[in-house]
Structure 1
Amino acid sequence: FLQSNRIKYLPEDIGNLSSLQILDVSSNKLNTLPLNLIDFPNLQTLRVMNNPLKNIPPHYAKADTMRLLAYLRERPAYEPEASTPTPEDDRSDPAPAQALSLTRFSLGHLRKCSTLVHTNSEEDVQDEAWDNAIKAQVVVVNLSHSKRSLSNRVVELAESLMELHLVDTGMKELPPCIGKLKELQILVLDQNLLSDLCPHLADCKYMKELSLSHNRFSELPLVVYKLRLLRKLVVSNNKLSTLEPAWSGLLSLQNLDTLDLSNNEITQLSPQLGLLTHLKSLEVTGNKFRQPGYQVLSKGTEAVLTYLRNKLPEEKKKQGLENNLPTSVSYFIS
């Protein structure tokens, strides 16, 4: 916790703190942030608001950690200036790929950042860039805002890739190769044309965060209920009209603590959703249901869950809270 200390810069070697989980540098005098902030494997909370940061819009500085880190990875301005290539770069990037040694696709840069970013482009990622990403064993790939299909070469990162961003790619179907990314933990598929997910996604056993905002889902894909370690599920701004029988599948996700169903067409909230007592954040505003009303919704997640539970018969409420896994859920996880 370094807030309110008049700090003007953070040292580059802050990246050596690989176990860091919380970094609060709010209310200081920071103009920039170190590039390696995006590489902290255990960072859960990052606070940078109230700093004179350049090239970071104020609403991103105030955003939650996941959105802030995603922005830092995407924006082209957040790239280091070209530097003199190291001998290792020269050996690993022979002609005709030498030009890559001064770009974000060089082996040296990819090893330093562990992130391959190729956004806002109409061109495919070059083979040389994939080669270097594979050698560097990058853990994050961001191909957002690029109207190109996902290359099968991503499978060559199966042993290292933990985070994949495919925002606004025009995707209509999730390719089956996604199931080969065994270490994948975060998958962001916002702003696409998806209405279902391929069953191969179930092979991503370590998936913790799945974002499907601004797509065409009319119901929650069944494969979601097989992601037993899932902690965050965002399905906002879709066409969901009902959560029947989704609530029983959701009860199987014992690690789920964030569920965003806002801005859909849901006409009724199932009282059984109140049995999701492990939820810390439930977003359901912007739907068509009338109950619970604004007075309940404005009080937050716990108030909504309590309201829904109170709509259940006492026997079912007690049984659900004791088991928290109805027998009907076997349909989803078999």
Structure 2
Amino acid sequence: MNLNYNDVSKLPSSLSNLCKLTSLYLCHNRLAELPELNLPSLRELHLANNCLKELSSEVLGGLRGLRVLDLRENKLDELPDDITLLQMLERLDLANNTLSSVPCHLGLLPHLRSMPLEGNPLRLLRRDIVQRGTRQLLQHLRDKLPNPASSYPGFGEDSCHPDGGTFKEAAEERLPKLPDKWQLRNTRQLVYSEKAASVPEELLQSAVEAEVPAVDLSGNTLAALPDKLAELSGHVKELVVSCNHLTCLPSYLATFTHLVFLDVHANRLDALPDLSALKFLRELNMTHNRFTSLPECLRGSQSLEILFAGDNRITEVDVSLVASWPRIATFHINNNNIGYLPPTLGNVTQIRSLLVEGNPFRVPRAAIIAKGTNEIMSYLRSRVVPGAE
């Protein structure tokens, strides 16, 4: 069910009658809270860009089958301890909230492979740990557990996960077993994060045969993406190759025309191939690389909503490029080498989240930057010279 881009402010409890519902999209609405729901078949819940301030234990208890929970761009300042009731969770997107920390027992979730946290004021988690990627972050959280795993919600002494053994054993071991095509068809994603210099050919072949829509090769030491990956171009919607040693991306990425999400952060990239054919690309994470400019290859993209370009070497902001993205809502260019922030950027009014701190420009002043996006954009507009574009 797709209810994105509406003015929904409240959900009826009668939603629980949709007992066979598997996906629910509610992004870009005005939801401030969720009712208690019982949706045992729900696998994906997308709530990005709402006004949620908290999640109740009652809500989580009725959603235990979730694989994907997207809470990006809300107002969450903490997660409930009962978040680990979602023991089948594979992707938990918490980016751009107001979290100062996350529960350590999240590290026990046996299937969790992706947990974006950028854009949160994390005071109790070191930045370098967050930047190492989900795998190492979860290990760090497990290492900090003050109590036995059995003391946390959903993790009894004898609690077992679908692969056998206890949840703690599953989380700590994460043995690099290569799934066959039947397993990949069931999970609908290829995840291979083993600090490896190459990806097994047989694993990629299984992914091709399973027609997986999501590929995660993060946390390896890949110097180049395998040619075999090109055979997945007709199916993949999410591609994560972060935290590798990539110095360039293959031109065959232009054939991934269904791609919605691309994460290349924490590599050694200074350029992107031509991505103009990616008409559905909604989110690009290119942080922590060596880029000196914004992605010109995406000029005119009608679908790009989220661009993370922080921690690079970008020297200027091409406002005409940013303005060519009619749906751009999140634009992060923090920690670059930008010496001048053009006032006309304030006219790109579709921007809802702007991060610019950590650049050498002197205007706007740090006091204005600290007040957030609305104040920055308003200040920039006030400095636009009449007639300027």
1:271 aligns to what?
Answer: 343
2:242 aligns to what?
Answer: 167
- Retained in 1: the 8 A contact 2:65–2:88? no
Q: Give how far 1:61 is off.
A: 8.0
Cα deviations across residues 190-222 of structure 1 (Å, max 9, x unaligned)? 1112111112x1111111111111111112231
Q: 1:55 aligns with which of 93, 107, 129?
A: 107
* CA shift in 2, pair 1:28/1:47, >3 Å: farther
Q: Give how far 1:29 is off.
A: 3.3
1:198 aligns to what?
Answer: 273
2:56 aligns to what?
Answer: 4
1:260 aligns to what?
Answer: 332
Inter-partner Cα distance in structure 2 for 1:74 and 1:131: 29
2:370 aligns to what?
Answer: 298
Inter-partner Cα distance in structure 2 for 1:216 and 1:62: 21
Cα deviations across residues 104-162 of structure 1 (Å, max 9, x unaligned)? 52233312221111113324222221222122221211111322221122222122201
Inter-partner Cα distance in structure 1 for 2:285 and 2:346: 22
TM-score of the pair, normalised by structure 1: 0.72
1:19-34 correspondence runs (5 A): 26-31=79-84, 33-34=86-87
2:204 aligns to what?
Answer: 130
SS in 2 for 1:210: strand
Inter-partner Cα distance in structure 1 for 2:221 and 2:116: 29
* CA shift in 2, pair 1:249/1:112, >3 Å: same
Inter-partner Cα distance in structure 2 for 1:4 and 1:171: 41
Q: Give how far 1:286 is off.
A: 0.5
Cα deviations across residues 9-57 of structure 1 (Å, max 9, x unaligned)? 6665446xx9x876999425354533355399xx999999876735269
1:1-334 correspondence runs (5 A): 1=34, 3-5=55-57, 13-14=65-66, 26-31=79-84, 33-38=86-91, 53-55=105-107, 63=117, 71=134, 82=163, 103=177, 105-148=179-222, 149-199=224-274, 201-243=275-317, 246-316=318-388, 320=389
- Retained in 1: the 8 A contact 2:225–2:249? no
* CA shift in 2, pair 1:13/1:267, >3 Å: closer
- Retained in 1: the 8 A contact 2:66–2:88? no
Letter matched to residue 128 of structure 1: E
Inter-partner Cα distance in structure 1 for 2:181 and 2:88: 16
TM-score of the pair, normalised by structure 2: 0.63
SS in 2 for 1:207: coil
SS in 2 for 1:174: coil
Cα deviations across residues 242-272 of structure 1 (Å, max 9, x unaligned)? 22xx111111100100001000111110111
* CA shift in 2, pair 1:46/1:108, >3 Å: farther
Q: Give how far 1:231 is off.
A: 0.5
* CA shift in 2, pair 1:26/1:171, >3 Å: closer
* CA shift in 2, pair 1:288/1:253, >3 Å: same
Instruction: Return 5+ residue gaps in structure 2 as ranges.
Output: 1-33, 37-54, 121-129, 143-160, 165-175
* Count of residues in correspondence between the two structures: 287
SS in 2 for 1:55: helix
SS in 2 for 1:187: strand
2:147 aligns to what?
Answer: none
- Retained in 1: the 8 A contact 2:95–2:118? no
Q: Give how far 1:175 is off.
A: 0.7
Letter matched to residue 63 of structure 1: L
SS in 1 for 2:105: coil
Letter matched to residue 38 of structure 1: R
| More helix, by proportion | 1
Cα deviations across residues 151-194 of structure 1 (Å, max 9, x unaligned)? 12222212220111111221111110111111111111111121
Inter-partner Cα distance in structure 1 for 2:356 and 2:253: 29
Inter-partner Cα distance in structure 1 for 2:218 and 2:250: 16
Which structure has the higher relative contact order (CA within 8 Å, separation 6+)?
1
- Retained in 1: the 8 A contact 2:106–2:138? no
* CA shift in 2, pair 1:82/1:56, >3 Å: closer
Inter-partner Cα distance in structure 1 for 2:257 and 2:296: 19
- Retained in 1: the 8 A contact 2:115–2:134? no
Inter-partner Cα distance in structure 2 for 1:252 and 1:35: 39
